Amino acid sequence: MNYMDQYKFWLEDDYFDDNTKAELLAIKDDEKEIEERFYKELEFGTGGLRGIIGAGTNRMNLYTVRKATQGLANYILAQGTQDKGIAIAYDSRFMSPEFADEAALCMAANGIKAYVFESLRPTPELSFAVRYFKCTAGIVITASHNPPEYNGYKVYWEDGAQVTSPKDVEIINCVKAVTDYHTVKTMSLEDAKAAGLYITIGAEVDDAFIAALKTQIIHPEIIEEMGESLRIVYTPFNGTGNIPARRILKEIGFKNVYVVPEQEMPDPKFTTLAYPNPEDPKAFELALKLAKEKQADIVLATDPDADRLGIYAYDTKSGEYVPFTGNMSGMLVAEYLLSQRSAMNTMPANPALVKTIVTTNLADEIAAAYGVKLIEVLTGFKYIGEQIKWFEETGSNNYVFGLEESYGCLVGTHARDKDAIVAVMSLCEVAAWCKKQNKTVWDMMLEMYEKYGYYKEDLYTITMKGKEGSEQIAAIMEKLRANPPKEFGAWSVKEMRDYKSGKTVNPETGEEGETGLPTSNVLYFDLSDNAWCCARPSGTEPKIKFYMGVKGNSLEDAVTKVKELTDALKSKL
């Protein structure tokens, strides 16, 4: 059926409820809007679903969620692991509780027990719960840091990580195979509970999750000593981090934690935030105001599903708060963990640090300094989680830290996804350690630059919405593939890696090789003078992202160089 046929089907078929039909009738004279809602199915990709909430095949609604869940249930049944059950969590967004229940009741109707959190919980706690209950899979309803009109649906497998190859493609095929809404199963909440197929979970998992985080503390004596004097401002961005982040900080001994009142409680409108993303400096406006009032040492913000963490730290010289990128905050934690474990002789045998291909090369320097193996994976924290699973299966290495540039990291292996709650705990420990030495977190960052080099990264993003936007993004990638640049301004291309074809090529010699990583629509350019840039369409938003990194002789030099590289890249588009 074409988009207009689909529109009429949703309007006329008895399967769809009156509220859905009323919403669709309201756009009957807007053919462009009808096309946007029905020109395709909301794509179930390797990370699940994400889209604008509303009626239509290309929207997040009860029907698309139920249909995707039926496909996942069919896959679980085919694997024969249905008796292990599935864990389900959700965030503070519009329709999140409803979507979580729809998924649970579809699973229940297929004979698969659903462990559903009693109220909103962070994404990393869902990852933890999958392994805690020994489930076959997990679902979290969240659109992470997207604007308020979005919601999403992420799928995890029994190891607690988001699904990777080949299961991701197999699940996608099972979801695509569900073409008739009338074949999708569901049942009432009362019947599901009576049958023991809908189990509410809460405090027991919370306690176990918090206990697991505490095992990652390196210097409890320093936290105890400095807990009275360190001043922390925190905002959960009206999401899931409020209770667990405050709980862990309180229980380990931090006395002065000030929460931004306007952003404390769940709010699906994100009223004080244009964009609930810790990558956005504007989102810190209220937190920084509170920090100045309280003379805070450190300012922390978690995104709505609490898997990403952004920070600002006080600079005594300027009297201002300095923003940290995800690369910078991740490297602070890495340096602290590796230096202290080395000093205390608690580093495990065959230690490994895992990062994504678009994460700072400062990670390589730090890993080398402490004799830790550096492993690089594709963008997406699921690939870091996958490495942990392989380490456990093969005994080849022991995981010590993992991070990606987009403000996500994981200390410990209690979860298999990025965890902003454990990152809050770890960064506050770093801040306490710094304060004991009469320095700030920013001072520590400057010391790291002096020790390893002034690495600086940036991100240039182009947003292109809708069907036309998708086509434009594809055209940009095709242009770069068809005519790959041999230089970007002052930097020559030493090697181009096309992760879609799996090939690498040296433009000077023509020598070809293999990327050694799974297929992904990513182009990476390794440049002269320790620089690099990378092009990648977002898997969760209507954007194409361009990453770049340089190494400077000073902070100012690095800032200048990364701007020049960004400008050179823009000229190629």
Distance CA 236, CA 287 (A): 10
Which residue in 122, 93, 119, 59 sits closest to 269, CA to CA?
Answer: 93
Distance CA 355, CA 462 (A): 24
Centre a 10 Å sphere on the Cβ of residue 32 and count the other Cβ atoms it contains: 10
Catalytic-role residue among 96, 144, 406, 520? 144
Asked if residue 411 lies in contact with residue 400, where contact means CB atoms within 8 angstroms, the answer is no
Distance CA 367, CA 527 (A): 21
DSSP 168-200: HHHHHHHHHT---GGG-----HHHHHHTT-EEE
Angle at 45 between CA 40 and CA 50, to 5 degrees: 70
Distance CA 78, CA 229 (A): 56
Distance CA 444, CA 39 (A): 52
Kind and range of the H or E element at 477? Answer: helix 466-482
**Residue 479 Rama label (left phi>0; alpha psi -120 to 50; beta):** alpha
Distance CA 25, CA 436 (A): 64
User: What residues form DSSP beta bridges with 462?
Assistant: 544
Distance CA 122, CA 113 (A): 21
User: Side by side, which strands form the sheet with 408-410?
Assistant: 373-377, 351-356, 398-404, 408-410
Distance CA 386, CA 372 (A): 18
Residue 470 designated active-site: no
Distance CA 257, CA 266 (A): 19
Distance CA 374, CA 382 (A): 17
- Packed helices 326-343 and 362-369: angle between N→C axes, nearest 10 degrees: 0
Q: Which residues of 438-454 are buried (b: 16+ CB within 10 A; e: fewer)?
A: eebbbbbbbebbeebbb
* Positions marked active-site: 144
